[in-house]
């Protein structure tokens, strides 16, 4: 990249290419180029954030938790908005990284606290925080049946806690709802 002039459009394209070709480590280099630039294009910001989150997920799958968290933090330093924070939190919770997920949850602005992104993120953090099964199930059911959230990880966590209680009717209803919503 340093041998070729870059602009927002070119950087967006190479980020897409890095993700599509699964060259996630290249994203680190493109992030540095972005950091050293004076580009403030919102589209590029979204692409760099999404790419960093993808890189973070790659690191989680490689069991490199420190690098994953670093990638998520870099994404949040560029854009701390609902969809990006939710992606970080979902990934961290899926890997049982509660403290890290709590950090990202507190980055939601007050204005975003009523959004689906915040509610899902909060549910996931609460589910890992050791709250009672009943309160987790109640919150999860409210998301699935009341707010009509269609998040695979919410279904996964709710299913897990319903299975712990042995409520087979609720499990069957949840599976029906999941098939209806996610199909």
pLDDT at 6: 74
Q: pLDDT per residue over 100-130, tens digit each?
A: 999 999 999 999 999 999 999 999 999 999 8
Average pLDDT value over all residues in the chain: 92
Q: Which pLDDT score, from 0 to 100, does residue 27 have?
A: 95
Q: 3-state SS string over the chain? A: CCCCCCCHHHHHHHHHHHHHCCCHHHHHHHHHHHHHCCCCCHHHHHHHHHHHHHHHHHHHHCCCHHHHHHHHHHHHHHCCCHHHHHHHHHHHHHCCCHHHHHHHHCCCCHHHCCCHHHHHHHHHHHHHCCCCHHHHHHHHHHHHHHCCCCCHHHHHHHHHHHHHHCCHHHHHHHHHHHHHHHC
pLDDT > 90 fraction of the chain, expressed in percent and rounded:
80
119 Cβ contact list (under 8 Å, min separation 6)? 143, 147, 149
- Tens of pLDDT along 129-171? 988 999 999 999 999 998 888 889 999 999 999 999 999 999 9
Provide the pLDDT for residue 2.
52
For the entire predicted model, the pTM comes to 0.89
pLDDT digits over 37-64, tens only?
A: 888 889 999 999 999 999 999 999 999 9
Domain boundaries of the chain, sorted by first residue: 1-79, 108-183
| Per-residue pLDDT at 3 | 47
Q: How many CA atoms lie within 13 A of 88 on its CB side?
A: 35
**According to the model, what pLDDT value does residue 130 have?**
87
Q: Look at residue 66 in the predicted model and tell me its pLDDT.
A: 96
Q: Could you tell me which CATH number the domain at 1-79 has?
A: 1.25.40
């Amino acid at each position: 990249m340093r041998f070729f002039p870059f602009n927002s459009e070119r950087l967006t394209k190479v980020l897409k290419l890095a993700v599509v070709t699964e060259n996630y480590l290249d994203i680190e280099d493109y992030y540095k180029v972005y950091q050293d630039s004076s580009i403030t294009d919102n589209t590029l910001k979204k692409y760099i954030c999404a790419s960093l989150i993808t890189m973070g997920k790659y690191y989680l799958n490689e069991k490199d938790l420190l690098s994953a968290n670093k990638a998520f933090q870099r994404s949040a330093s560029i854009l701390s908005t609902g969809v990006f924070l939710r992606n970080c939190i979902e990934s961290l919770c899926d890997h049982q990284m509660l403290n890290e997920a709590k950090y990202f949850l507190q980055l939601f602005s007050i204005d975003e606290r009523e959004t689906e992104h915040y509610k899902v993120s909060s549910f996931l953090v609460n589910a890992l925080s050791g709250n009672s099964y009943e309160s987790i199930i109640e919150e999860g059911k409210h998301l699935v049946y009341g707010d009509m959230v269609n998040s695979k990880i919410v279904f996964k966590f709710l299913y897990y806690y319903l299975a712990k209680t042995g409520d087979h009717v609720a499990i069957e209803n949840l599976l029906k709802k999941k098939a209806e919503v996610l199909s």
